[in-house]
Amino acid sequence: MHARPLLPLLLITLVATPALASFGSKPDTPPPSSPSSPPEASEQKTPRQEAEALYNDAYNDVAKAKDMLTGDSPDKKKANKLFKRAIDHADDALKLDANYYEALNLQGFSWRKLGNYKKSLEAYAACLKIQPDYAPAIEYYGQALLESGDTAGAQAQLARLKELKSDDLAKQLEDAIAAAPTAAKSKNGSSAGGQ
pLDDT digits (tens, 9 = 90+) for 106-163: 999 999 999 999 999 999 999 999 999 999 999 999 999 999 999 999 999 999 999 9
- Residue that wins the pLDDT comparison between 20 and 79: 79
pTM of the model: 0.72
Contact 105, 129 (CB under 8 A): no
Average pLDDT value for residue range 156-173: 98
Per DSSP, the three-state class of 42 is coil
Residue 102's contacts (CB-CB under 8 Å, 6 or more residues apart) are 55, 127
Q: Sign of dihedral through CA atoms 140, 143, 145, 151?
A: positive
Contact 101, 127 (CB under 8 A): yes
Query: Distance between CA atoms of 147 and 1, rounded to whole angstroms?
Result: 115
How wide is the angle at C-alpha 176 spanned by C-alphas 181 and 107, nearest 5°? 110
Task: List the chain domain ranges.
Answer: 46-116, 133-180
Q: How confident is the model at residue 41 (pLDDT cuts 50, 70, 90)?
A: low
Query: Distance between CA atoms of 101 and 47, rounded to whole angstroms?
Result: 15
Is a pLDDT exceeding 50 seen at residue 95?
yes
Average pLDDT value for residue range 157-183: 94
- CA distances (Å), 74 to each of 71, 79, 113, in order? 6, 9, 14
